Structure 1
């Protein structure tokens, strides 16, 4: 016989939701920047930069959602929180965007 299901502390779920929303805001900003670069500037360098921003936005959106799902499952199961590779991938993508922006400005 099993006892009643223990509900996780709602603060953890709310914090997880806030983190998802932060990822999504970042994704929207990166996608908006990518679209602006693609529409306002010409040249292969700017096109590459715009596409890189769009890819970074996709990484943020998808990575944030996958993180949300894994953390929510861990919270509900009472397990330790899983590692999040999306953070490292997103950081690398943003660094690449910064390097591309610097090269674009210098050339």
Structure 2
């Protein structure tokens, strides 16, 4: 088996690192809201949404990295998945929840 062009492997790693940065940002935002905003049910729900989205982003990023790496090494088309749509929907819901929390607090 021949090794793929290193540029493809490095691009795949950069994409994975972007997923990791996103996951860290979501988790940090969840922790910050939980600790810095007054305690209420709305801030707790928002914090939990952010933490769950961060965990999901990390897991999805790793799964996508592994699938893309296998496809690159096999010379196949890169895989696609619908999880990006789920994370986008979560981001919209979190944004709306943040707006509600801002108005209520």
Same fold at TM > 0.5: yes
TM class, shorter-chain normalised?
over 0.9
Q: TM-score w.r.t. structure 2 length?
A: 0.93
Structure 1 ranges of 4+ moved more than 6 A? none
Aligned to 1:14: 10
Q: TM-score w.r.t. structure 1 length?
A: 0.91
Q: Contact 1:59–1:86 at 8 Å: present in 2 too?
A: no
Q: Highest Rg: 1 or 2?
A: 1
Q: Contact 1:59–1:89 at 8 Å: present in 2 too?
A: no
SS at match of 2:4: coil
Aligned to 1:71: 68
Deviation at 1:18, TM superposition (A): 0.2
Deviates more, 1:5-14 or 1:74-83: 5-14
SS at match of 2:79: coil
Deviations 1:50-95 (A, max 9, x none): 0000011011100100000000000011110111223112111111
Structure 1 unaligned regions, length at least 5: none
Indicate yes or no: 2:57 matched with 1:31.
no
Paired residues, number: 103
Structure 2 unaligned regions, length at least 5: none
What is the aligned-residue RMSD (CA, Å)?
0.9
SS at match of 2:101: helix
Work out the CA distance in 2 between the residues paired with 1:86 and 1:24. 15
